[in-house]
Homo-oligomer: A and B are copies of this chain.
Amino acid sequence: MHQLINFWPIARVISVLLLIIGMMMWTGIPFSAYYGESVLPLLYAGLTTITAAGILWLTTQRRPSDDTLPRPADVNIRKREGYLIVALSWTAMVSFGMLPYLYSGMLPDVVDALFETVSGMTTTGASVLTDIEIQPRGLLYWRSLTQWIGGMGIIVLTVAIFPLLGIGGIELFAAEAPGPTSDKLHPRISETAKRLWFIYVGLTVAEGIVLFVAGMSPFEAINHALTTMATGGFSTRNASAAAFPPLIQYILIVFMFLAGVNYTVLYLSLKRRWSEVWQSDELKAYIGLVVVVSLFFTGRIWYITGVPLEQSFRDSMFQVVSLVTTTGYVSADYTSWTPSLTMICFVLLFLGACAGSTAGGIKIIRNLVFFKNSFLEFKRIIHPQAIIPLRLNGQIVPGRIITHIFNFLLLYLILFVIGSVVLSMLGLDFQTSVGAMATSLGNVGPGIGGVGPVDNFAWLSDPVKLFLSFVMIVGRLEIFTVLVLFTPYFWRLN
């Protein structure tokens, strides 16, 4: 019997995932105990999650024999399973990930708990908490950890899963990414994933230590290290990064910037293969963008608002890096500077840092391909007979990849437009609609208007929160992965 989707491997993956999530919850228990808070919410939430994982494992333990339920050999059907694994994994992670908030009563409303969990796991960092500092430390740690888990997950997704699914058209630029044949998958995924996790864990530990040495409490150092490397942006302070002294802010700038670099490039840097590092046009564009925009901001803030030069520079650099990397920490209210800087910050919500990092948004490489191609297009108009290829990292980019990227860019922008209209129909004003949509789709965190850097998402209605939760997942999974599930093509055998 030829069937559309084989649920057995999906169930296995989700079972393992839930086991990991449950055990992760328990790592927060020491914090609760140390700070004299109730350990029960995290204990029970972990228990529930691990129990669910066990039940799922046991009910699917007997692998279906090959003649009753054959493993699909058809690659199209395998792809379907890939999408469903991603979608159902997210559903499971979010459903169980919000249990600590619910059990503790920190966010008794299920919509709020869902929003905060999705915002965490997608590494968005938009929050419905109006006062963060009064919350139990153990739960704040879990909140930060959701981002770290999400960041780790997204590295695996972009480096290993998305290329298999043929999404986004950037697979060819990740030198270490596995090829399109699934036979090669297993050894290379585990090899690649090991390196990435090593870098991810290593940078997190390094940042935690540096922040602690620079004067942060161990608890805050751990939390901020977790949410920086995930480009998540949850803070333990109401004022976010503005609550910390300049030294800490500079440290955060450095690590936010590193978190936005392609992990392949980070790996090459670690191996001191500098000539290969500097071949990355995306890295150069990323550095150039951050430096140029930061200096422009510095000049304008210093000149117009009269803020001292060092602070102008620090605030500029911090906010530009925070927005471009889609981290979303806030060291200054960027909507209070000047109308033009607000506008530029709004544009930054879309850019995204390097592909193959934990950053959200469009990603520098896609923007770069678009801009390079636009310039070449003018050349092509003048010389219609000539073949004028687009080069990146010294290599010609195939037309197929360019088309994929254009598809993505347009779909991203049109989703932004549709989402903004939906939000305005749900009652938000113009600026809040576009701000909330841009920041959710780009997994940034703060927006403009009513969801600006010094506001939060608590005041929004339930429909808005649910819609934005969906948008955050759509953005995080590079749009196609989620939306394809809602097309008839997905559910048809042919």
Chain A contact residues, CB within 8 Å of chain B? 75-76, 79-80, 165-167, 339-340, 342-344, 346-347, 370, 373-375, 377-379, 381-385, 399, 402-403, 406-407, 409-411, 413-414, 417, 420-421, 424-425, 427-431, 433, 448, 480, 483-484, 487, 489-490
Contact = CB atoms under 8 A, between A and B. Distances in A.
A431 B429 CA distance: 11
A399 B404 CA distance: 12
A370 B425 CA distance: 24
A343 to B, nearest CB: 4
Nearest to A367: B414
A381 B484 contact: yes
Copies in the complex: 2
Nearest to A411: B374
A421 B343 contact: yes
Contacts of A381: 79, 165-167, 480, 484
A483 B381 CA distance: 11
A389 to B, nearest CB: 14
B378 A430 contact: no
A442 to B, nearest CB: 14
Contact of A490 (B382, B402, B403, B448): B382
A378 B31 CA distance: 46
B165 A424 contact: no
Contact of A430 (B339, B402, B428): B339
A489 B407 contact: no
A367 to B, nearest CB: 9
A448 B431 CA distance: 12
Contacts of A448: 430
Contact of A489 (B346, B379, B411): B379
A411 B429 CA distance: 27
Contact of A427 (B75, B80, B339): B339
Contacts of A346: 430
Given A165-B381, A378-B490, A406-B406, 17 more contacts: A75-B384, A76-B382, A76-B383, A339-B424, A339-B427, A339-B430, A343-B430, A370-B410, A373-B407, A374-B410, A378-B480, A378-B487, A382-B487, A382-B489, A382-B490, A402-B403, A431-B431
A339 B420 CA distance: 11
B410 A378 contact: no
A403 B448 CA distance: 33
Nearest to A413: B413
A338 B53 CA distance: 48
A252 B340 CA distance: 39
